């Protein structure tokens, strides 16, 4: 690994506490290290000006939470780079490395032992009522069509590759990737999917009809969401960013992006352990065999500080 980019969300106290040590550790292991201490500002600059293949690093290391990972992925969406996330946020499904294991995780990357997790992404195109395209976007997690804060319920239609699925009278509709199945979709009652899977999850938000349930669609599905009726503005959010306005008659088409995004994980990474830790699943009221009853509960799950999806 000759060239490394380090993105740090220094607004988090936990990031500031380890940043100097992480920088020194990486400088000993690579020829060139570029440190970005204002993650969101630097990613926005990179996204606007673009980056050439010659400028790309061999890997990216992110100190932050899942929101930090999404910000970096958005900046490098055209030219994906293997990305290692060290979790100092609340959840850590995307930033999968515990903050107390950052040295071991970096060693595994440089020793060629890290696991590459190619994550499916979504591509979306928004059209007006007259079929003129008004915006396009790429998502790692999800796309959300939702009503405005002051409006009542709206009606959305969902088609799958030309076949009508249903009309939803609801507060909104989420189309999620397997990575995004543990984000907004999960909060709205959607299923958890293994991150290595391929598939699209359609999850309605507070549907009026109790029979409407989340659905897992074929990965080759072309999903079209149309605004049938709405009292006011409808917005589209992509990975929590970039709100695009929609009106009655507009539609958004979502499909599998042709290229995955490579996230890095530790070789012994257990996705079920990750789910149990992140969601607080115990399965028993008995303490874990290796748990010190005098330890603070946060030490077991290492949720970090200050960020959640």
Antiparallel, parallel or unpaired: β 223-229 and 154-160: antiparallel
**What is the b/e burial string over 75-88, where b = at least 16 CB atoms within 10 angstroms of the residue's CB?**
bbbeebbbbbbbbb
Residue 142: enclosing H or E segment and its boundaries?
A: strand 142-147
At residue 6, φ and ψ (nearest 5 deg) are -115, 120
| Residue 66 appears among annotated catalytic residues | yes
> In this structure, which long-range contacts are made by residues 279-282, counting pairs with CB atoms below 8 Å and at least 24 apart in sequence?
none
Q: What is the DSSP letter of 114?
A: P
Question: If you search the block for the tokens 């059209």, which residue do you land on?
Answer: 127
Task: Please tell me the distance from the alpha carbon of residue 229 to that of residue 156, in angstroms, as a whole number.
Answer: 7
Of 49, 100, 41, which is closest to residue 302 (Cα–Cα)?
100
Q: Point out the catalytic residue in the list 21, 38, 58, 66.
A: 66
Which residues are tagged catalytic? 66
């Amino acid at each position: 690994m000759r060239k490394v980019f380090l993105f740090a969300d220094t607004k988090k106290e936990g990031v500031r506490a380890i940043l100097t040590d992480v920088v020194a550790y990486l400088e000993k292991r690579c020829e060139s290290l570029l440190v970005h201490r204002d993650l969101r500002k630097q990613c926005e600059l990179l996204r606007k000006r673009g980056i050439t293949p010659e400028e790309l690093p061999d890997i990216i290391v992110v100190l932050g939470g899942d929101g930090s990972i999404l910000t970096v992925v958005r900046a490098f969406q055209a030219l994906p780079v293997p990305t290692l996330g060290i979790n100092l946020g609340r959840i850590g499904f995307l930033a999968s490395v515990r903050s107390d294991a950052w040295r071991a995780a970096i060693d595994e990357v440089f020793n060629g032992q890290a696991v590459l997790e190619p994550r499916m992404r979504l591509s979306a195109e928004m059209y007006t009522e007259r079929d003129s395209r008004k915006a396009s976007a790429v998502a790692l997690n999800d796309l959300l069509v939702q009503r405005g804060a002051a409006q009542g319920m709206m009606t959305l239609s969902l088609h799958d590759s030309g076949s009508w699925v249903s009309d939803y009278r609801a507060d909104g509709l989420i189309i999620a990737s397997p990575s995004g199945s543990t984000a907004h979709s999960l909060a709205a009652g959607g299923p958890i999917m293994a991150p290595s899977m391929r598939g699209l999850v359609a999850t309605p938000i507070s549907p009026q009809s109790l029979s409407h349930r989340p659905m897992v669609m074929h990965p080759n599905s072309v999903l079209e969401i149309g605004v049938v009726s709405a009292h006011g503005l409808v917005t589209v959010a992509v990975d929590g960013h970039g709100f695009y306005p929609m009106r009655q008659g507009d539609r958004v088409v979502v499909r599998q992006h042709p290229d995955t995004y490579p996230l890095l994980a530790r070789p012994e990474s257990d996705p079920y352990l990750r789910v149990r830790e992140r969601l607080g699943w115990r399965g028993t009221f008995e303490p874990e065999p290796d748990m010190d009853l005098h330890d603070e509960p946060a030490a077991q799950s290492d949720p970090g500080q200050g960020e959640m999806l």
